[in-house]
A = this chain, B = another copy of it.
C-alpha cells in the first residue's frame, strides 16, 4: 500500500470511482510532464452532495466539505490517469469556483477544504498555487467546482 493510500485511510477517506465526463471530453489530459484535470463537482454516487448557493442553502462549513468531495474526485481522476501515486510529483494549481450568493466574500474559506486535504495527504508535494472565486451558477447546482493541474515525473 502506498504512503498516499495509507494517509487517506488514516484520515478516514476513500477514493470514489473516477467520475465520468458529462460531455464530449475526458477527465484528464496528459501533456508533457503535466496533467490537466477537468472541472470536478461535489458529486458522489451520481448525486451532488452539496447544492448551492453557498450563503443561502449551504453554509461555509458545509461548502468546505463540498470542496473536499471535489478534491477526492480530482485525486481519483489523477490516479486513474497515471495508475499510481509515485508519479505525482507536485500539485501545481487549483482553480476553485464557489456557487454562492451575490457578494459572497468567503470563497477562500470554502476552497480551503480542498487545500487542507491535499496538503494533509500529499505533504510538500501537495503545496500548490490557488485561485478562489464566487460564481452565480455551477453544473447541476454543485456548491463547488475545482480544476486541478498537477506535475508528474518519470
A60 adjacent to chain B (CB < 8 Å): no
Contact of A130 among B23, B90, B108, B133 (CB under 8 A): B23
A64 → chain B, closest Cβ, in Å? 11
**Quick check: B145 and A131 within 8 Å, CB to CB?**
yes
Mark out the residues of chain A between 105 and 146 whose CB falls within 8 Å of any chain B CB in the assembled complex.
Answer: 105-109, 111-112, 115-116, 119, 127-141, 145
Q: How many copies of this chain does the complex contain?
A: 3
- Which residues, 23 to 72 on A, are CB-close (under 8 Å) to B? 23-29, 31-34, 36-39, 52-53
Given A103-B141, A108-B23, are A129 and B92 also a contact pair (CB < 8 Å)? no
B111 and A141 contact, CB distance less than 8 A: no
State whether B105 touches A39 (Cβ < 8 A): no
Alpha-carbon gap, A32 to B33, bound state (A): 8
Instruction: State how many angstroms separate the Cβ of A46 from the closest Cβ of chain B.
Output: 15
A32's partner among B39, B134, B141, B151 (CB-CB below 8 A) is B151
